[in-house]
Chains A and B, each alone.
Chain A
């Protein structure tokens, strides 16, 4: 039984279609990623799931309820893009205030510790760095002990270290049984964190799979680069059935192909007593899979 089920979601703003046709299901306890280029409809989709917008078509259920059901406000924690706090509220006041909203809130001190905010409790919101504001925003999404957390552009604006810390935090939250929906446009973040991913482009789901599954699906192709010890004729390599193309970059040769490409290439080279120096196998990344899926970068 999925905790979130979205079927044929449609949403337009005036003449602009933000979401054309989006369907997916999020299972209990997973980290589900929604990936896509800017303007693809990711944020609109999660705003509909969070009950902030009314869809024009399709159905959404969250924990078997309609998304606008007020009982869900206790079960679903949401971290929105570009949602701030009053300039002069302190971190401590914000945490205390938001924990007063919930019947069984998390211990805000423990949460502040976990998010590295313990030293900022007396700081006013306007004085916090972008990363600290983001951490506070995450803390407020988690303060009600939600069963589902929806996090939109979680690590945008964070430095690389803070980003990695946040990823650790998200994994530790998932380990406590919370289902997480993560909107992102960072491939590294998606492949590191997400159990499954929906790739959205121009308001439609163009792929839905595990990160590894997405990569495999689009790239049966492999690439090998090396510097031969003596010059090699292209025809020699192209004679192997696995090889589809040979390209030269200075002294380096790049061989593209399918199947057991590495074995095919090394066999050809060995037969001619050629040594492959600086041999590298390039595997497709989620980045490439993504670019291939959405057809532009």
Chain B
């Protein structure tokens, strides 16, 4: 009961604090939607493309926008926030109270996940309403893909937070990982038109696998065993690594 109250209070506080960082809050919540709007406004991107197997560019980019949200929150925001908390002795102070610092980690991840859900829902809704992007035809598969991708990417974020000596360092490492990760997720060139070898590499990266799982679900399939295994693997390896290496002070 007390634990639940503590966790709820911590999560609400984390959400409030996130909302008070205008740049972070704006990009996490609206940037994926803005991307969808900009790309959807280009007429050629609303035409079926042979390269994409008859799909339109905009259809592909809604999934990429969802992956983008997860990458921003998992790789950039979470390491920044948590490494700053350690740097400032906030985790140490919590360790002297009945609220264990692990609860704060959980609250921060929950706040990030809730933000990712709202941001993704917004991008999907705008894609559907403005550009007729079909909703995921395998909805359960989409939820599964979203959760797997979120867990895999957030575990990497936690791992960075475990190693980074300061909030700044955490953010820098995350940003360094963000660009190649999003490349393989198809942010600059959709996965489908990348050379085959790059696609293969991408399948083993967290956001490449995540985007592929999301794309599969949007086109009616279940996430492939490969994508699911890769994402669970990232969760296991980096989650355990973070749990072992995380320092409270």
Least CB distance, B239 to chain A, in whole angstroms: 23
Q: Residues of A contacting B17 with CB < 8 Å?
A: 86, 88-89
Q: Are the C-beta atoms of A52 and B92 separated by less than 8 Å?
A: yes
With contacts A89-B13, A93-B13 taken as known, whether A80 is within 8 angstroms of B21 at the C-beta atoms is: no
| B2: Cβ under 8 A from any A Cβ | yes
Q: Residues of B contacting A103 with CB < 8 Å?
A: 2, 98
Q: Are the C-beta atoms of B98 and A73 separated by less than 8 Å?
A: yes
B4-12, B30-38, B208-216, B221-229: which one contacts chain A?
Answer: B4-12
Residues of chain A at interface, number, CB under 8 A: 27
Q: Residues of A contacting B88 with CB < 8 Å?
A: 83-86
With contacts A73-B96, A83-B90, A83-B92 taken as known, whether A52 is within 8 angstroms of B21 at the C-beta atoms is: no
Among B2, B84, B93, the residue within 8 A (CB) of A83 is: B93
- Give the number of A-B contacts (CB < 8 Å): 64
**Distance between Cα atoms of A50 and B249 in the complex (Å):** 14
Q: Are the C-beta atoms of A88 and B97 separated by less than 8 Å?
A: no
Q: Residues of B contacting A144 with CB < 8 Å?
A: 97-98
Q: Residues of A contacting B93 with CB < 8 Å?
A: 78, 80, 83, 85, 140
Q: Residues of B contacting A74 with CB < 8 Å?
A: 98
Q: Which residues of B contact A (CB under 8 A)?
A: 2, 5-6, 9-10, 13, 16-17, 20-21, 84-85, 88-90, 92-93, 95-99, 249
Return the 4 tightest CB-CB contacts between A and B, nearest first.
A83-B89, A78-B96, A84-B88, A100-B9
- A-B residue pairs in contact (CB < 8 Å), sample of 24: A50-B96, A51-B95, A52-B96, A74-B98, A80-B92, A83-B88, A83-B89, A85-B93, A86-B84, A86-B85, A86-B88, A89-B13, A89-B17, A93-B13, A96-B9, A97-B13, A98-B97, A100-B5, A101-B2, A101-B99, A102-B97, A103-B2, A140-B93, A144-B97
